[in-house]
Amino acid sequence: MILNIRTTLEPHLLRLRVAVYGSGGAPSHHLALLALWGGTPEVIYAGEIVSGKLSEYDAVIFPGGGLAAMAGQLEPLGAKGMTALRCWVEAGGSYLGSCAGSCHPLRMSDAYNDAYPDAAAFQVCDVTPLNAAAGVWGLDSPGTGRIRVMPEPQPLFEGLAEPFEIVHYNGPLFPAIPGAAGRVLGSTDHFTPFEVSQGAVTGPTVLERALAQGARVAYHQRVGAGQVTVFGSHPEFGGGPLQLGWLPAVRLLSNALHLVRPGAVPAPPSATDVLSEGLLLEMRQSAAALESGLVRAASLKARLPASTPAFLGLLGPDLWDAALGEAQGLLASLKHWLEACPAGGTVCGLHLLDCAPKSGQDVGFMGARQLLGRAHEMVLKATDPSAEWPTFTGAYDQLATHPYHLLASSYLSACGMIAAAALQVTAFTSLNDLPFSLPIPLTSGD
């Protein structure tokens, strides 16, 4: 089953203004999809939410988390931002969230609320995740990778008649109550329970306990004149090692956007920025430097400790090879496009290529140029001969320092940053009707 990404949503999305939260998390997949579906990929920051800019939009999307997950998204918003979100939804706005972004409107554990008291101002949903916990994140992770889901006969699952796979990445699972949908059938060979990532399984896993309680992946609720639609999983992610190659589950996001009530018809993006040779040159240089860096990195696999955690159904060394190999293919495609793309023309959406991150962002939105630069810094740090390769005592030990995490382990690694840059080039070229093709199909099926 392969979804036609380019034609699913165009007529409806052209009537919507949709913003993607940029002050934390991983927004590149959502931005690429919005552009491919015919919309305008716009970014909104925490300060703009506080100042009332949400009134200009029909919907806002909060993506999966950054290094600090929910905390990294919540901190820039504070109580004022969370209150602004609540008021906007109650007045008719549509909130969509994935994984960490899905947690903000939920009723979380007491430990979570004690750690993040500002979150209470937007906890508008009548549901607590099955895997809510007393730990530092407020959730017990089910694990990472592809799980199988049974669709239900409702608009959110339009076009999904058979069980399908979706990527789950540590996020919440919902109890079988009104508003929750998409029953989890089980894991796949492309899934690693969190307990396995930790190094040992003693008793039932978090996923197994959730399955016994009828776990669901999605939750929808009307809130005042507006609505909240959240996915504990990642419909926007693809099934590969760098979350590329969209699965049929991406229909969940397109269907959620079909539920959004359009306001004033937005003006089409205008081509007012100039694509400079300097920008293209810098991106070419970063891509070339990254190619060399990944060749060095590949030779270091033997240094991975025996305790290296598994993710996405792959052992650490296998994920290392898969992520580095896919990233090298992406860089080759990016270099080809950067060399062929003519400078000097006027374009729209230049921010997708060149936009410095705001101060204090937990990953969040930045241009493809900055993503490649960040990836290069991570590769240099990881391949430094003096870099330490300590053993792991937990799945996310040294998330910002260990070469495994810096290079290959997740969508926040250097390879993940390269994938994000490729997605934003995809969004930019789609927006400007320019040719660009990834070495990985936009869609993949089973």
Structural domain boundaries of the chain?
10-258, 273-431
Question: Tokens representing 436?
Answer: 């660009």
Rounded (10°) CA dihedral 143, 144, 148, 149? 80
Residues 6+ apart with CB under 8 A from 432: 271, 347, 348, 349
What pLDDT is stored for residue 442 in this prediction?
65
CATH entry 3.30.930.20 includes domain 10-258:
no
Please report, rounded to a whole number, the percentage of residues in the chain having pLDDT higher than 70.
96
Please provide residue 236's backbone torsions phi and psi, each rounded to the nearest 5 degrees: -80, -10
Question: Which residue is listed with tokens 């190094």?
Answer: 199
pLDDT in tens, 333-355: 999 999 999 999 999 999 999 99
- The token pair at 367 is 């241009």
Would you say 191 and 145 are in contact if contact means Cβ atoms under 8 Å apart?
yes
Q: Tens of pLDDT along 367-422?
A: 999 999 999 999 999 999 999 999 999 999 899 999 999 999 999 999 999 999 99
Question: Does residue 227 contact residue 259 with C-beta atoms inside 8 Å?
Answer: yes
The residue behind tokens 């400078």 is: 343
Torsion of the alpha carbons at 299, 305, 311 and 312, rounded to the nearest 10: 40
What pLDDT is stored for residue 328 in this prediction?
A: 96
The pLDDT tens digits of the residues spanning 127-148 come to 999 999 866 678 899 999 999 9
On the question of pLDDT at 424 being above 90, the answer is yes
Residue with tokens 């776990």: 215
Phi, psi of 428 (to 5 degrees): -65, -45
Radius of gyration of the chain from its Cα atoms, rounded to whole angstroms: 20
Smallest Cα–Cα separation from 131: which of 101, 90, 85, 172?
172
Q: Alpha carbon 69 to chain centroid distance?
A: 11
